[in-house]
Amino acid sequence: MPTEHQNSFDAGWNANFDEVFSTLPELINFPEFDGLYPAADNAVYTTSVVLWMLTYQRLSPDSTLEAAVKRLAQDNPVLLPKNKRVSDATLSKNTSGYSRARSRLPEDATTQFVARVSQSIIESSP
């Protein structure tokens, strides 16, 4: 059973994580990846959305697929394409679409993404 101190630490850590994670679009031009690695016209899980979710999943204290899909639905980032499921807020909470999209993501897309994030952090550091 978590202690009061642990719950306080977790709440603070989560708030800090949210603040830092929200700056990611300032470091990376996510839509550029959609041009380099296009998805199907009706896809919700575009390359930029999958990269955003993978980053969330790898850095978040709750790194499950379910947590990433929940975060996507909760945040509704501007990365989401113009799509009926997005505009009607009927995006499924099921993880299968995200799971399939992750498996379709080219390895080169993640390699370029990591390199650009790293370079952006280096350039923005004093």
**Angstrom distance (rounded) from CA 76 to CA 112:** 24
pTM of the model: 0.79
Structure tokens at 23: 């700056």
Q: What is the pLDDT of residue 37?
A: 93
Q: What is the pLDDT of residue 5?
A: 47
CA 42 to the chain's CA centroid: 19
Q: What is the pLDDT of residue 13?
A: 60
Q: What is the pLDDT of residue 72?
A: 85
Q: What does each of the 126 residues of the chain score in pLDDT, given as a tens digit?
A: 555 544 454 566 666 777 777 788 888 888 899 999 998 888 889 999 999 889 888 888 777 899 888 888 887 677 888 877 777 777 778 899 999 999 999 999 999 999 998 898 888 887
Residue 37 and residue 105 in contact, taking contact as beta carbons nearer than 8 Å: yes
Q: Which letter does DSSP use for residue 41 in this model? A: T
Residue 92 and residue 73 in contact, taking contact as beta carbons nearer than 8 Å: no
